[in-house]
Each structure stands twice: as C-alpha cells, then as structure tokens.
Amino acid sequence: MQKLLQHIKGDKVIWSIVVLLSLFGLLLVYSATGTLAYKNDKNASAYLIKQFAMIALGIGIIIAVHKVNYAKFSKISVLTYYLSIPLLLYTMFYGAKINEGSRWITIPVVHITFQSSDFAKLALFMYLARLLSMKQAVIKDFKKGFIPVLTPVLVICGLIAPENLSTALLLGATCCILFFIGRVQVRHILMLALAGLVGIIILVAASVYFDFGRGATWVKRIEDFRGKDASGNKKEDPFQVEQAKIAIANGGVAGRGPGNSQQRNFLPHPYSDFIYAIVIEEYGLVGGAVIVFLYLLFLWRCILLFRRCPYAFGAFLGVGLSITLVFQAMLNMAVTVHLVPVTGLTLPMVSMGGSSILFTSMSFGIILSISRYVDEMEGTKTGSPKKEGSKLFIQNGADKAAPVVTA
C-alpha cells in the first residue's frame, strides 16, 4: 500500500472523492441489480463483480493517465477530435439501438459496446481547450477568435443531438461557460444561446414532422414533465417518475438501510438513470446530501485548480471536464426528483456502466494530471521560463490573468 501511495500524485481531495463515489457505486449497484439478476437468471453477485472490475479498470486508467504530462493531450486533441466525427456519423446511421436511441458502437469480435458521445465529449474539451488557449490574443474578435472556437462545438453537438439531445445540450451549456471563462464576448455567447434554442426547436419540429430521429420521444418527455398533453389535458406522471417519488418518500431522512430498497423491484433502470432514487431510499436525505456534497466539493477543488494553473490549456481543460461531470450528475439527480424532464444521463462513477466509467475515469485522470503538474511547479523555485511538452507558455501582455500558448 505504501508503494502504491508513492505513485499517487495530485489533489488528494479529488482522489478521495473518486474512491468514495466508486464505493457508493459498488454498494448501490449490488443492491439495485438483484431483480435484474433474477430476470436474467444470473447469480446475485454477477453485476457486482462486473461493476467492481470496471471500477478497478477505471482506477487503473486514472493512475496511468495522471502520470502523463497533460500538455501531451494538446498534441493528440486534433487527432481525437477528427476521429470523433466519423465515429459519430457511423453511430448515427449504423449504431446499435438501445433504449430507442442509436448511441452505441459495437466492436466486432469482442462484442463490446461503447457510446461514441462519451469519446466525443472528451475529444471536444481537449480540442476546445487547445483552441481557446491559442486564440486568447484575438478571442474578442468574431471572425478570428469566436468562429474558430465555435465551429468544433457546433459540429460535435450537431452530430450528437439527433440521437442524444440531452448530451448535446449538456455539452453546449458547458462550452458556453467555458467560452465565458475564456473571455469570449458575452454578446457572442448570448447570440450562440439564442441560435441554439432556435436550432433545437427546428430539430424537434423536423424530427416529428418527417418522422426521423427521436422527436416523438422528446415531445412525450416534455408533456410528461408538464403533466399535460398537446391538447392541454392532464396526464399522470410516467411510471418511472412515480416510482422514483415513492422511493424518495420511503427513504425519509435516514433511509431504510443498505440493501433494503423496495422500489428497486419496480423502478425501471434503478442501477443507472434512476440510481439516485435508490440512494435516497436506502440512505435517506442524508445519503442524498452526501452525494451532492461530493460532487460540489469536486467542482470547488477543480475551480481552485483552475485559479492555480498558470497556463491556459490546463486551466481550460480542467474546468471544462469538471463542469461537464458535475452538470451531468446534477441533471441525473434533478431528473430523479422531477425537476427536469427525463434525460437518460447516468450518475458519474456511481451508476452501473462500462465504457461510461472508463471515459469518466479518463476525465478524472486528466484533471489529476493537471493537479500533479501544478503541485510540482509550485514545489520548484525558479524564475526561468518553463516549457510544457514542446510548447512554450507565455503571459498575454494585454491580460496578465489569461496566459496563452504560442502556436
């Protein structure tokens, strides 16, 4: 153990949060998959073993990635971005359909599936952080600064939206925040938000009218959330929302205790989309508050890291990845308590998953790589300029708070 800890660098609080969320995930998945194991005629521990294997692999990925100098991700970001485009196109036309959505790619021979949007999210934030850091000198200019950083966001979100609108909206919102932090003109961001809203309306209307994509599903989810159909007639809550509310009511303040959930036998997907309902039923409002606190603590530590990081690429990359992870968690929990329509997003590192855990682990690893590098820099006392990979980072004379990387 002592030798292992010697290889663990970076923010210890973030490491602790990763471990705690993973342990929560193991307990909850074991509890929530009992009925699923029975239906599929599997051993009650089958899904626990699978989750443990994925968590162990994820931790291994975090350890490996956090040892890599994060500047190297700037070099590979161009490749990963352009690779994500054909993957998303393939998914759109030939992807495996699971839960009514074509979001998955099946790898031949090994028959392993993964969501191409998970890869695209990671690729987009690496590429966007690179562009923002390189365009700081002209970022206020619409043509020279804003259009180049906007284009990859429109491409990726546009390819994801037809089959996974919730992920596209999450990405778009996170990128708008990243634009604001990256000193993009506020009026340009507002123009983007307005154009995005119009684009969503057109996409949904076209999907319903021409009967392609998931337009009917999106409309139904909005109607279910409003409690009224298109004619204004009152509708009952959808079954999954109703069962989630029962689970929350059963949990009370202290919960029923680990493994004592009743609604796991009725709630659809209690191990993924609605796992937060099981959290509250078994651990009560106290347990639910602990989960919220862990994600908010993670975001706070990443914001501190953003303020400490002297270089634009690392700062933008760290804050972009952390915000999207926390936004996803908050949306998942908001769906469970019926604050927003059903989205299909999972709870990072807690919900049962395969590729989602691995890509989430990569994100944690990159954030810890930035933290490790910042800690090492703060531990050295030198006034000489530093190189990060093959790129020399300098301070922008017009804004000392916004370091930029030379192209």
Which tens digits make up the pLDDT trace of 13-64?
999 999 999 999 999 999 888 878 877 778 778 888 989 999 999 999 999 9
The residue type found at 136 is Q
pTM above 0.95, yes or no: no
CB within 8 Å of 218: residues ≥ 6 apart = 165, 204, 207
Q: What is the DSSP letter of 341?
A: -
Q: What is the pLDDT of residue 3?
A: 62
Q: What is the pLDDT of residue 380?
A: 55
Which residues make beta-bridge pairs with 220? Answer: none
> Do the beta carbons of residue 171 and residue 177 sit within 8 Å?
no
* Per-residue tokens: 212: 């392609």
User: How would you class 95 by CB atoms within 10 Å of its CB: exposed for 0-12, middle for 13-18, buried for 19 or more?
Assistant: buried
> Do the beta carbons of residue 81 and residue 127 sit within 8 Å?
yes
Residue 130's alpha-carbon distances to 149, 242, 307, 389, in angstroms, are 9, 44, 18, 13
User: How would you class 133 by CB atoms within 10 Å of its CB: exposed for 0-12, middle for 13-18, buried for 19 or more?
Assistant: buried
* Per-residue tokens: 86: 């054909």
Which positions of the chain have pLDDT values less than 70?
1-7, 96-103, 106-112, 213, 229-233, 235, 378-407
CB within 8 Å of 203: residues ≥ 6 apart = 161, 162, 165, 213, 215
Q: What is the pLDDT of residue 156?
A: 93
Q: What is the pLDDT of residue 1?
A: 55
Q: Is the dihedral of CA 178, 165, 100, 329 positive or negative?
A: positive
* Per-residue tokens: 250: 């059963």
Q: What is the pLDDT of residue 77?
A: 93
Q: What is the pLDDT of residue 395?
A: 34
Q: What is the pLDDT of residue 396?
A: 35
Instruction: Delimit the domains of the chain by residue range.
Output: 73-348
Which residues make beta-bridge pairs with 115? Answer: 104
